[in-house]
Amino acid sequence: MEIEKYLDSIAASINEASVISEATSVAIRKQFSEDFLLRNFSVPRFKTQEVALTIPVGTREVREQPSNYEPFDKSEFFEKTLNILRRFTNEVFKKRSKEIDRDRLNRLRAIIEERVNVLRAAIKSSGRISSELNLYARYLAEQFNVLYQTETPNRIYRQIVYAINEEQRQDIYPVPPAKPPQTKIVLESSELRNVASKDFFKINMTINDGTMEWNYLED
């Protein structure tokens, strides 16, 4: 919240309290006038001549990340990874039965789908595309060797890692530049406890006959 809006809300609350108090005084005045004993007493009234407040305020830098950035199209990225791995499946297991291949393929699809979500979250969080994609490729290469029990795992591992990095890097959209840090005004007492002393200051606020003035207090 902006400081001006916060102070305006305080002033509005005080003015509202004064209006309520005046309305209450009118109602009490009527009651006094109708009472045999009280009619001889003055009606109590509340009126604020001047209200002075000292308000603690803190500041804090906040870095906003682009909330709508999507590294890639999840469906297309998934299908491309699957097609890359199926090339190796066809090469290594041409003589396996279709039933076994179908079962392994379903398990492979589940692994890819899970890692696509992990890759998406990692890139959005870190902004690192090449390193996260390489980790993605290495993990899938390892899982492929375990799932299909390949006879030449090192060769298959290297080829899969190379293929995914080479063919899918272009499918990832560039990370948009980070927004410059914004200064957040801290007003809540629970948050003020964590504000560094250099970012802490006070405001002197005065309300007089409905008008408001305020200024920063020097230490």
- pLDDT 10s digit of each residue in the chain, 219 long? 566 777 788 788 877 777 777 778 778 888 878 777 777 777 676 666 677 888 777 776 655 555 688 999 999 999 999 999 998 887 766 655 445 578 888 999 999 999 999 999 999 888 899 999 999 999 999 999 999 888 888 999 999 999 999 999 999 999 887 666 566 666 666 677 677 666 777 888 887 776 777 777 755
Confidence (pLDDT) at 172: 95
Radius of gyration of the chain measured on its C-alpha atoms: 34
Confidence (pLDDT) at 47: 65
pTM for this one? 0.53
Domain ranges of the chain: 3-57+203-217, 74-171
Buried/exposed 109-124: b ≥16 CB within 10 Å, e otherwise: eebbeebbeebbebbb
**What is d(CA 47, CA 8) in angstroms, rounded to the nearest whole number?**
20
Confidence (pLDDT) at 45: 67
Confidence (pLDDT) at 93: 65
Burial tier of 142 (Cβ tally within 10 Å: 0-12, 13-18, 19+): middle
The closest alpha carbon to 85, from 111, 121, 103, belongs to 111
